[in-house]
Amino acid sequence: MRRLSMIAALATLMMASSAWCATPSLAPELQPLDVTEGTWLYHGEDLAVSDQKGGKWTWLEQCEWSPNKAFMACSFTMNNPGKTVKSHAVSTYNYSDKSYWHYEMFDSDGSGAEPFIARMTVEGNTWIAYGKSDNKTFRVTYHYSPPTKATVSVELSSDNVHWTTVARGEGVKQP
């Protein structure tokens, strides 16, 4: 009897430890973010508008899930006209307000004290993030053509009514 109790205790311990070590599954609300996992290479252009010069750019984006599968974390190296900007972005779902959020920190363009925080709408394969910087609202739209292509456009507005496209490009997921 004692031996049977010991075997049952060991079996319970093994099941508990394997459950503890198992990779967490992805919550249904987070599944739309999964499209970005991997390495993406974007090519695009800044458009010549009133307060910026036009020019070509490339972005390298490397995305992976956090170990607890609650956050999609992406590191960017953005080779923009005249400068290279590095950032780290985290996207997730907020269960309290039932919306997606994007938090992006910059280290190399002097605005590290002002991260870009944006509420996102995710409808199908289209993500739209709205955030503020320099007293302007930015609207960043990604449209994914899974599994390997994406387009991006960046617009800005000073009144949230009239929008000006300031950048656009295309991304390809790398093998």
pLDDT at residue number 16: 43
- State CA 26 to chain mean position distance: 16
Q: Quick: pLDDT tens for 112-141.
A: 677 889 999 999 999 999 998 777 899 999
**Residue 2 included in any domain:** no
Range of the domain at 160: 26-173
Do the Cβ atoms of 80 and 45 come closer than 8 Å? no
**Residue 8 included in any domain:** no
- CATH number for the domain spanning 165: value is 2.40.128.20
The DSSP call for residue 127 is: E
Q: Quick: pLDDT tens for 65-92.
A: 999 999 999 999 999 988 898 999 999 9
- pTM for this predicted structure: 0.82
**Residue 86 included in any domain:** yes
- Phi and psi at 148, nearest 5°, equal -130, 0
pLDDT at residue number 24: 83
**Residue 1 included in any domain:** no
**Residue 18 included in any domain:** no
Nearest to residue 126, comparing CAs of 102, 146, 101?
146
**How many domains does the structure of the chain reveal?**
1
**Residue 20 included in any domain:** no
With H, G, I as helix, E, B as strand and everything else as coil, classify residue 146.
coil
Nearest to residue 100, comparing CAs of 7, 32, 14?
32
Question: Residue 5 carries which side chain, given as an amino acid letter?
Answer: S
